């Protein structure tokens, strides 16, 4: 039995439209890398429109850390380098080649390589970008030694993909990926599993310490695992890698090439056949959603409903996302909506009858359900944040930019995703995740 940590605070939001456990294979017509997915990266382009690229061809580098290379996940032709205001790079769109040409980075056994050799291979292939550091959630600095590396083998967010399904048949790559991570730290590689985790790939993993986290969302968030196992103190760094990205890294060391596949869940109340798709990283979601959604006005989200990014139906998956959620837009006026009993409405508070039916699934939309207010209610945030952190006090310290207080109250330990539920339950309807990111960015600039 692995070590068990019981999470009591949190909230499971049950939504309609869980993905059915079947995987369809599609090949999107195009795919894209969005530099906006990477915090603090200033891209310098290495390709131009019309260039042919292979899987593994460098597309751009970070202007301030030129060893951080971003490579194409699949071969194709650069269609467009899309820029926005002040020429900010938004998207590098590529047409998917019919046959995937892959650059050979040569297979290797990570257990017989040094940290430097592993790092070099990852940097060269562009897969280093899959390793991020906390605090700040930026791409890890290859020259540092993290005190530990964390991987979460389950996702508790609403409608989240089932990692047991994603890892099935890819256990070798997953184990190799864990071995790679083991070679990168003198500390532990921690694998967090959930109460529902059954996959032997996770339960019998080697070179990692398994911890069982029981409880409601955000129990699956890696930030919660870090907080309970090895919290980040000032000056310390831990690295985090997403479960499927561990597989991608393992694939590189086993086969020598970049894995062309990414398993993505398509879910949400407006999807007619919610299920899993095998696509490519950054793939266009058009083929997944076309003809597979209702006719309502819809919100397409790369990621889950709590932390994902709004995208268009012909747009692209974000780099680190392995799910697409489609829910109704909520741009309607509701007569006396705050006063009516609201039998179809969901609330974590007991001022709506939803608490009487804890297992009911809801089709929630994007309506904010109210106007922005000053913080009045207290004690609500604490109920959904399973950390020894005072959420309201931390939020306020960010608002008035008191750097010392932010540090003292534990800003290094948090990420916006850990505060997604805090934002969800907020009676005052403020954008707390944006605020947390702002606080982290203030600290990052202050420390550099």
Partner 1 sequence: MKSLRRYLDKIKPQFEKGGKYEKLHSTFDAFETFLFVPPHTTRTGSHIRDSIDMKRTMSVVVLALIPALLFGIWNVGHQHFLSHALEASFLDKIAFGAWKVLPIVVVSYVVGLGIEFAFAQYRGHEVNEGFLVTGMLIPLVLPPDIPLWMVAVATAFSVIIGKEVFGGTGMNILNPALTARAFLFFAYPAFMSGDKVWIAEKADTYSGATPLAEAALGIGDGTVNFTYSFMDMLMGNIPGSIGETSSVAILIGAVILIATGVGSWRIIVSTVLGTVAMGLLCNVLSLNAYMDVPFYYHLVMGGFAFGAVFMATDPVTAAQTEKGKWIYGFLIGVLIVLVRVFNPAYPEGVMLAILLMNIAAPLIDHYIVQGNIKRRAKRSKKNPELEGKLSAV
Shorter beta-carbon distance to partner 1: residue 113 or 425? 425
Between residue 137 and residue 156, which ones bind partner 1 under the rule CB under 8 A? Answer: 141, 143-145, 147
Shorter beta-carbon distance to partner 1: residue 263 or 327? 327
Shorter beta-carbon distance to partner 1: residue 108 or 348? 348
Shorter beta-carbon distance to partner 1: residue 92 or 139? 139
Task: Name which position in 28, 73, 110, 135 contacts partner 1 (CB under 8 A).
Answer: 135
Should residue 346 be labelled a site residue for partner 1 when binding is judged by CB under 8 A? yes
Should residue 67 be labelled a site residue for partner 1 when binding is judged by CB under 8 A? no
Should residue 433 be labelled a site residue for partner 1 when binding is judged by CB under 8 A? yes
Should residue 296 be labelled a site residue for partner 1 when binding is judged by CB under 8 A? no
Whole-angstrom CA distances from 318 to 32, 33, 63, 264, 368 are 9, 8, 21, 11, 24
Looking at 51-59, 202-210, 226-234, 271-279, which segment touches partner 1 (CB under 8 A)? 226-234
Shorter beta-carbon distance to partner 1: residue 193 or 289? 289
Shorter beta-carbon distance to partner 1: residue 278 or 352? 352
Task: Name which position in 112, 338, 356, 400 contacts partner 1 (CB under 8 A).
Answer: 338
Q: Is residue 302 a contact partner of residue 318, using CB atoms and an 8 Å limit?
A: yes
Should residue 105 be labelled a site residue for partner 1 when binding is judged by CB under 8 A? no
> CA angle, corner 329, sides to 317 and 431, nearest 5?
75
Q: How far is CA 441 from the centre of its chain?
A: 18
In what helix (H) or strand (E) does residue 299 lie, and over which residues does it extend? strand 298-302
DSSP 309: E
Residues composing the chain: 448
Should residue 38 be labelled a site residue for partner 1 when binding is judged by CB under 8 A? no
Query: Considering only CA atoms, which of 202, 196, 216 is closest in space to residue 151?
Result: 202
Tokens of 157: 């967010």
Should residue 237 be labelled a site residue for partner 1 when binding is judged by CB under 8 A? yes
Whole-angstrom CA distances from 95 to 1, 31, 48, 311 are 48, 7, 13, 19
Task: Name which position in 179, 190, 307, 318 contacts partner 1 (CB under 8 A).
Answer: 307
Task: Name which position in 32, 55, 166, 327 contacts partner 1 (CB under 8 A).
Answer: 327
Between residue 349 and residue 368, which ones bind partner 1 under the rule CB under 8 A? Answer: 349-352, 354, 364-368
Between residue 249 and residue 268, which ones bind partner 1 under the rule CB under 8 A? Answer: none
d(CA 224, CA 162): 19
Which residues touch 153 (CB under 8 Å, ≥6 apart)?
163, 167, 191, 192, 193, 194, 197, 199, 202, 243
d(CA 426, CA 325): 22
Site pattern 154..193 for partner 1 (x: CB under 8 A): ----x---------------------------xx------
DSSP 196: T
State the nearest-atom distance from the C-beta of 272 to partner 1, in Å.
20
Shorter beta-carbon distance to partner 1: residue 204 or 355? 355
State the nearest-atom distance from the C-beta of 297 to partner 1, in Å.
10
d(CA 40, CA 87): 16
Looking at 37-45, 81-89, 196-204, 381-389, which segment touches partner 1 (CB under 8 A)? 381-389
Pairing label, strands 209-214, 3-6: parallel
Should residue 399 be labelled a site residue for partner 1 when binding is judged by CB under 8 A? no
Shorter beta-carbon distance to partner 1: residue 74 or 134? 134
Looking at 50-58, 81-89, 233-241, 270-278, which segment touches partner 1 (CB under 8 A)? 233-241
Should residue 369 be labelled a site residue for partner 1 when binding is judged by CB under 8 A? yes
Q: Is residue 367 a contact partner of residue 331, using CB atoms and an 8 Å limit?
A: yes
- Torsions phi, psi of 95, nearest 5? -85, 135
d(CA 267, CA 439): 32
Exposed/middle/buried for residue 144 (C-beta within 10 Å: 0-12, 13-18, 19+):
exposed
């Amino acid at each position: 039995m692995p070590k068990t940590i019981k999470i009591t605070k949190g909230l499971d939001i049950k939504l309609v439209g869980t993905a059915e456990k079947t995987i369809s294979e599609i090949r999107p017509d195009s795919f894209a890398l969005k530099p906006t997915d990477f915090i603090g990266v200033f891209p310098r382009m290495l390709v131009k429109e019309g260039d042919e690229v292979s899987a593994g061809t460098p597309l751009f580098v970070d202007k301030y850390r030129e060893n951080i290379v971003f490579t194409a996940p699949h071969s194709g032709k650069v269609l467009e380098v899309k820029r926005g205001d002040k020429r900010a790079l938004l998207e590098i769109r590529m047409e998917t080649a019919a046959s995937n040409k892959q650059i050979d980075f040569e297979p290797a056994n990570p257990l017989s390589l040094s940290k430097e050799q592993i790092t070099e291979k990852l940097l060269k292939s562009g897969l280093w970008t899959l390793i991020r550091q906390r605090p700040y959630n930026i791409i890890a600095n290859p020259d540092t030694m993290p005190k530990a590396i964390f991987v979460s083998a389950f996702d508790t967010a609403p409608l989240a993909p089932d990692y047991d399904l994603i890892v099935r048949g890819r256990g070798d790559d997953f184990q190799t990926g864990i071995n790679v991570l083991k070679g990168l730290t003198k500390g532990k590689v921690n694998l967090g599993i959930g109460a529902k985790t059954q996959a032997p790939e996770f339960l019998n993993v080697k070179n990692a310490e398994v911890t069982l986290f029981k409880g409601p969302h955000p129990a699956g968030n890696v930030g919660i695992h870090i907080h309970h196992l090895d919290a980040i103190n000032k000056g310390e760094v831990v690295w985090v890698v997403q479960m499927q990205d561990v597989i991608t890294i393992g694939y590189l060391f086993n086969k020598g090439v970049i894995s062309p596949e990414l398993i993505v869940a398509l879910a949400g109340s407006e999807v007619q056949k919610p299920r899993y798709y095998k696509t490519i990283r950054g793939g266009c979601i058009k083929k997944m959603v076309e003809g597979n959604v209702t006719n309502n006005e819809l919100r397409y989200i790369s990621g889950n409903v709590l932390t994902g990014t709004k995208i268009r139906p012909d747009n692209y998956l974000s780099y680190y996302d392995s799910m697409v959620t489609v829910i109704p837009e909520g741009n309607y006026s509701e007569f006396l909506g705050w006063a009516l009993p609201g039998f179809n409405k969901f609330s974590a508070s007991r001022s709506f009858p939803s608490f009487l039916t804890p297992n009911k699934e809801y089709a929630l939309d994007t309506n904010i359900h109210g106007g922005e207010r000053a913080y009045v209610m207290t004690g609500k945030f604490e109920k959904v944040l399973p950390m020894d952190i005072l959420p309201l006090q931390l939020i306020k310290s960010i608002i008035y930019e008191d750097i010392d207080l932010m540090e003292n109250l534990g800003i290094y330990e948090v990420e916006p995703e850990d505060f997604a539920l805090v934002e969800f339950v907020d009676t005052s309807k403020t954008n707390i995740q944006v605020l947390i990111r702002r606080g982290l960015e203030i600290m990052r600039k202050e420390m550099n």
